[in-house]
Amino acid sequence: MSKVRLFPGDCREIMRSSAIQDASYDAVITDMPYYNQYGPEIKLSGRKALGGEIDFDVFDNMNEWLEFTNDWIELCIRKLRKGGTFLSFTNLENASRVVDIIEARGLQLRGRLYWHKVNPAINPRKNNYLSAVEPALWAIKPGGKVYFDFTTQDAMHSWRSGFPWCNDDDLTDIIDIVIEGGITQGLERTKHPTQKPIYLMRDILLRHVPPGGKILEPFGGSGSTAVAAMSLGMDVDICEQEEQFLAIIKHRLSRPIQTEFVEPK
């Protein structure tokens, strides 16, 4: 039976409190603010609106976002046990900046995961490629035993990407892997504009969190990490400061955990 604790408020204030103990989590798994500047709704034909009634992931400038990102990552590292996993989604444009931050604070970058969305949002202007890939950065806190479920050779294909922050000379110990599937649709879909599907989060948790492990999710968002953790019998502490998203999380956690997770194709 998993234990879920939901903390309303700024994750930095919560992690500075006694509610979140140091060195007590097997993994930090999250979908960090990307500096995408979400604001008013963007309506696309045949899709739910992007954005919403509230602004989120909005910063005055890049320096403000960097200061914020430095702050919450440093706090998360304190909460990880030695050997614990740090894994966060980001965007392609800022991935190199996040790598610099986590490595400057002593984490060891172990790999990059790429979620390939087989049904990405359309581009109504038809002036660029579709945004069909989101990276996640995987790092570990040195000094302890690292958990990683290798599963099978076929499932663990690695590949070298051509993205600009990659230096071939530095990739000897870094694994890049692709997880492929559709964006959230149907009954699983909420009003959160950047919702991650449960199949994606389950896949990540199964690989990076030991059975019965404890997870810290500093940006609860739509609650997909929590739902996936509950379905796997893992404990999770979630922080979320936006009232609209807190309501989504509470609603999802109040429902019976689904046992079937179908990847849209």
Mean predicted lDDT score pLDDT of the chain: 84
- Tell me the whole-structure pTM to 2 decimals: 0.84
Confidence tier at 64 by pLDDT (50, 70, 90): very high
User: Residue 192 has what pLDDT?
Assistant: 86
User: Residue 257 has what pLDDT?
Assistant: 58
Residue 78, pLDDT above cutoff 70: yes
Q: Which two tokens mark 190?
A: 């909420």
User: Residue 217 has what pLDDT?
Assistant: 98
Higher pLDDT, 237 or 124: 237
User: Residue 27 has what pLDDT?
Assistant: 98
The angle that helices 224-231 and 243-254 make with each other, rounded to 10 degrees, is 20
AA identity, residue 107: L
Confidence tier at 95 by pLDDT (50, 70, 90): very high
Read off the pLDDT of residues 153-204 as tens digits, 9 standing for 90 and up. 777 765 544 333 344 444 445 556 788 888 888 888 888 888 899 999 999 9
Cβ(215)–Cβ(150) below 8 Å: no
**Range of weakest confidence among 4-8, 91-95, 140-144:** 91-95
CATH number of the structural domain 22-219 = 3.40.50.150
User: Residue 152 has what pLDDT?
Assistant: 77
User: Residue 168 has what pLDDT?
Assistant: 44
Read off the pLDDT of residues 203-221 as tens digits, 9 standing for 90 and up. 999 999 999 999 999 999 9
* Neighbouring residues of 86: CB distance < 8 A, sequence distance ≥ 6: 27, 28, 73, 76, 77, 80, 102, 107, 137, 138, 139, 140, 141
Query: Would you tell me how many other CB atoms lie within 10 Å of the CB of residue 175?
Result: 16
Read off the pLDDT of residues 22-53 as tens digits, 9 standing for 90 and up. 999 999 999 999 887 544 444 433 444 444 45
